[in-house]
């Protein structure tokens, strides 16, 4: 089936540094998402993005977070600066639409460890 690719699968970063998580969504999809899962906890919606803009963000999407998809390339999540509580697995997802009968496709996740 359609694949969402996330690079890298693991990243370790020093607290206070900047990190960019990369996602290659399904090629013809138009809507993009990031989800966050802290180890042992529930998967939670962070943000979704369409037509170059953030459509909706949750309270977990702090001011230090930003998303973009420059020129149709990777969809990225940037955290600047990172904090210890940002350690989690971040999942990228994409979908063709956002209305009825929308199936969302997920990547395998990037495990971010902030030390």
Partner 1 sequence: GQQVQQSPASLVLQEGENAELQCNFSTSLNSMQWFYQRPGGSLVSLFYNPSGTKHSGRLTSTTVIKERRSSLHISSSQTTDSGTYLCALGMNYNQGKLIFGQGTKLSIKP
In the complex with partner 1, which residue's Cβ is closer, 13 or 38?
Answer: 38
State residue 25 phi and psi, 5-degree precision.
-75, 175
Stretch 2-41: interaction string toward partner 1, x if CB under 8 A: -----------------------------x-x-x-x----
Task: Report the distance separating Cα 92 and Cα 61, nearest Å.
Answer: 14
Task: Report the distance separating Cα 86 and Cα 16, nearest Å.
Answer: 11
Q: Is the dihedral of CA 74, 65, 12, 92 positive or negative?
A: negative
Subset of residues 56 to 95 that bind partner 1, contact rule: CB under 8 A: 56, 89, 91, 93, 95
Which of 77, 80, 72 lies closest to 90 in space, CA to CA?
Answer: 77
CB of 45 to partner 1, least distance (A): 5
Which residues of this chain interact with partner 1, rule CB under 8 A?
Answer: 1, 31, 33, 35, 37, 42-45, 48, 55-56, 89, 91, 93, 95, 97-109, 111
């Amino acid at each position: 089936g359609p694949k969402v690719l996330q690079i890298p699968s693991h990243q370790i970063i020093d607290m206070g540094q900047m990190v960019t998580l990369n996602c290659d969504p399904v090629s013809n999809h138009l809507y993009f998402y990031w989800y966050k899962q802290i180890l042992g906890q529930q998967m939670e919606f962070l943000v979704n993005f369409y037509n170059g803009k953030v459509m909706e963000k949750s309270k977990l999407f702090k001011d230090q977070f930003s998303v973009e998809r420059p020129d149709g390339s990777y969809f990225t999540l940037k955290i600047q600066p990172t904090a210890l509580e940002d350690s989690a697995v971040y999942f990228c997802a994409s979908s063709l639409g956002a209305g009825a009968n929308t199936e969302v496709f997920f990547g395998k996740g990037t495990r971010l460890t902030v030390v």
